[in-house]
């Protein structure tokens, strides 16, 4: 993205809402339902942001004392974020079914008065929440599907669609500024929250990720339980080779949205592979891998589970996990080659 395009976009003060309405007019026939859905999500994001900005002063730190469906300790902010998004989607009426990382079952909304929404929203309301207490960036991730025509009533089965069926996906990063980045399958655009007016403003139009990068993000503490091909790839990235700009740098925040956002903008590779503790990887297919996979592909990148495209996986359960290799396409391609044993550290 050219800096001059960015500056021009900011000068025009195009709000997220206006941007979506403009786009919608380009794509008739449209009922405006998708625009309203994104607006509802953005309102919830603003509310979560406002809780987060006061964390440390108000009582949102720490755990609820419960364990979520993943067996992870639930943070108070996880629950608060989940409640804000569910409430916004219920109120908005465009969503018929929610799947949330913080809730064991899919949540149907059709029983709500007057609700006849056509969209399914799957989300991780607050990713990386264990980082909040130490003031590290966290994020929200969402994935949007249509209720299939043959499912008049929203059910878990209707939600189990492969990522290629997504009609929208996005994330919010609560970082040094708060940004919402989304795609509806026509490129990727980023909006920065202007706290003075409480609006997301188009600040990063048409985001493209670099073809290659020299940063990789992985929890290297798990190195001993990585498969051999991955060990070779990591050692290869650490090797001295000025011609190919090696060694690369490791950057790992431990907050997927933040690591993903940096790599998207600067080029790089995010890896969460199978490990001994998590034989299918740790990240969730439906809440984390598919939406960020859709975004990275729309920005010119790639998302693989090690031997194929994440978005083509047919999910069998709402909370299922997948290994993740996503980012600059040249780096994802190399990862797959190392995993197939076609390359070794000596290449
Ligand atoms: P969460 O959804 O429960 O917050 O867990 C997902 C997080 C990601 O944000 C992050 O990339 C990963 O877990 C870090 O895991 P690890 O501490 O094993 O490296
Ligand atoms: Mg989470």
What residues does the ion ligand 2 have nearby, CB within 5 Å?
101, 124, 127
Among 212, 215, 206, residue whose Cα is nearest residue 181: 206
Q: Looking at residue 60, what is its pLDDT?
A: 65
Pocket test for ligand 1, best of 256, 278, 291 (most atoms within 8 A of CB): 256
User: Residue 292: pLDDT above 80?
Assistant: yes
As a whole-number percent, the residues of the chain with pLDDT over 90 amount to 73
CA angle 309, 310, 315 (to 5 degrees): 130
* Residue 84 Cβ < 6 Å to ligand 1: no
Pocket test for ligand 1, best of 67, 128, 262, 279 (most atoms within 8 A of CB): 128
Q: Which value, to the nearest 10 degrees, does the dihedral of the CA atoms of residues 229, 235, 237, 243 take?
A: -120
Mean pLDDT of 204-215: 97
Q: Which ligand is nearest to the CA of 100?
A: 2
| Residue scoring higher pLDDT (29 or 261) | 261
Instruction: Tell me the pLDDT tens digit for each residue of 72-88.
Output: 767 788 889 999 999 99
The Cα–Cα gap between 183 and 173 comes to 15
Residue 154's φ and ψ, nearest 5 degrees, are: -70, 130
Q: Which distant-in-sequence residues (6+ apart) come within 8 Å of 78 by Cβ?
A: 64, 68, 102, 125, 126, 129
Pocket test for ligand 1, best of 218, 254, 319, 320 (most atoms within 8 A of CB): 254
Every domain of the chain and the residues it spans: 3-204, 215-339
Q: Looking at residue 129, what is its pLDDT?
A: 85
User: Residue 96: pLDDT above 90?
Assistant: yes
Instruction: Tell me the pLDDT tens digit for each residue of 137-183.
Output: 999 999 999 998 876 778 888 999 999 999 999 999 999 999 999 99
Q: Looking at residue 111, what is its pLDDT?
A: 58
Predicted confidence band of residue 323 (pLDDT cuts 50, 70, 90): very high
Take atom 18 of ligand 1 and give the residue whose Cα is closest.
219
CA 7 to chain centre: 25
* Residue 270 Cβ < 6 Å to ligand 1: no
Q: Looking at residue 112, what is its pLDDT?
A: 58
CATH architecture of 215-339: 3-Layer(aba) Sandwich (3.40)
* Residue 127 Cβ < 6 Å to ligand 1: yes
Residue 139 alpha carbon, nearest atom of ligand 1: 9
pLDDT mean across residues, the chain: 91
* Residue 128 Cβ < 6 Å to ligand 1: yes
**Has domain 3-204 been given CATH number 2.40.160.10?**
no
Instruction: Tell me the pLDDT tens digit for each residue of 232-290.
Output: 999 999 999 999 899 999 999 999 999 999 999 999 999 999 999 999 999 999 999 99
């Amino acid at each position: 993205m050219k800096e001059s395009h960015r500056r021009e976009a900011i000068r025009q003060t195009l709000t997220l809402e206006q941007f979506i309405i403009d786009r919608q007019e380009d794509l008739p026939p449209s009922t405006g339902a998708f625009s309203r859905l994104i607006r509802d999500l953005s309102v919830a994001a603003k509310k979560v942001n406002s809780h987060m900005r006061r964390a440390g002063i108000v009582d949102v730190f720490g755990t609820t004392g419960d364990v979520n469906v993943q067996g992870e300790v639930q943070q108070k902010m996880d629950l608060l974020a989940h409640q804000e998004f569910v409430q916004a989607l219920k109120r908005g009426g465009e969503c018929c079914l929610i799947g949330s990382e913080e809730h064991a079952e899919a949540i149907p909304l059709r029983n709500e008065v007057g609700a006849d929404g056509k969209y399914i929203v799957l989300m991780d309301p607050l990713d990386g929440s264990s980082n909040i207490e130490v003031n590290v960036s966290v994020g929200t991730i969402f994935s949007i599907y249509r209720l299939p025509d043959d499912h008049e009533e929203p059910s878990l089965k209707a939600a189990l669609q492969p990522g290629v069926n997504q009609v929208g996906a996005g994330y919010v990063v609560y970082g040094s500024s708060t940004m919402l980045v989304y795609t509806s399958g026509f490129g990727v655009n980023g909006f920065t929250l202007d706290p003075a007016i409480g609006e997301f403003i188009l600040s990063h139009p048409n985001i493209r990720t670099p073809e290659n990068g020299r940063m990789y993000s992985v929890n290297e503490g798990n190195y001993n339980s990585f498969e051999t091909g991955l060990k070779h790839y990591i050692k290869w990235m650490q090797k001295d080779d000025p011609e190919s700009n090696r060694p690369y740098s490791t950057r790992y925040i431990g907050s997927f949205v933040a690591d993903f956002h940096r790599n998207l903008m600067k080029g790089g590779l995010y890896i969460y592979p199978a490990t001994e503790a998590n034989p299918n990887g740790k990240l969730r297919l439906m809440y984390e891998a598919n939406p960020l996979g859709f975004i990275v592909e729309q920005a010119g990148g790639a998302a693989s589970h090690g031997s194929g495209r994440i978005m083509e996986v047919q999910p069998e359960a709402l909370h299922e996990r997948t290994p993740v290799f996503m980012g600059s396409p040249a780096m994802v391609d190399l990862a797959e080659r190392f995993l197939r044993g076609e390359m070794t550290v000596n290449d």
